[in-house]
Amino acid sequence: MANIHVLGRDFAIAPYKLGELRRAAPFIDNIQRKTDGSGSLSDLMDSALDLLNVLSIGLVKIDPVLTADYLEANVSMDEFVGLQTAFLELSEESGLKRKGEATAPTEMASVGASSTDLPSSSTI
């Protein structure tokens, strides 16, 4: 289970099955494309929304209110680093990355930093 703390609540999201990974794949691909080192704020915000879309796939099963749109309207940047860690944990547990293969980034906003070492979804 991936543990997520968001909006003052704790959630445990089960690893994604193939159908959930299929829905998440375009967002994961976008995250990888936009974290190639350009460091623009626009790309960072787009990647943040993509990350919220991936996490909302599991969160709406627990609480239907927690859609990507709801998360975007209510999540602050202060919470975002924790969500990045939860994203990486969920990705690993869903089989997208082997345990110990890479460490979670400390900050996606770092110019030139890559937020994931996940394979492109086309290689799943």
- Spatial distance between the Cα atoms of 111 and 57, rounded to a whole number of angstroms: 28
pLDDT 10s digits, 40-68: 788 888 889 999 999 999 999 999 999 99
Which residue, 58, 115, 56, is CA-closest to 81? 115
Give yes or no for a contact between 116 and 32, defined as CB atoms under 8 angstroms apart. Answer: yes
What is the model's pLDDT at position 14?
94
**123, pLDDT greater than 60:** no
**Does the pLDDT value for residue 33 go beyond 70?**
yes
Q: Is position 111 within any domain?
A: no
Rounded average pLDDT over 90-104: 70
Residue 101 has a CB neighbour count (10 Å cut-off) of 10
In a domain, 31, yes or no: yes
Q: Mark residue 82 as left, alpha or beta (left: phi above 0; alpha: psi -120 to 50; beta: remaining).
A: alpha
Q: Which two tokens stand for residue 120?
A: 């492109």
Quick: pLDDT tens for 16-25.
999 999 999 9
The answer to whether residue 123 is domain-embedded is no
Two structure tokens written together for 106? 């400390």
Q: State how many domains the chain has.
A: 1
Q: What is the mean pLDDT of the chain?
A: 80
Any domain includes 55: yes
Residues of the domain holding 21: 2-100
pLDDT score of 35 more than 70: no
- Number of Cβ within a 10 Å radius of residue 20: 18
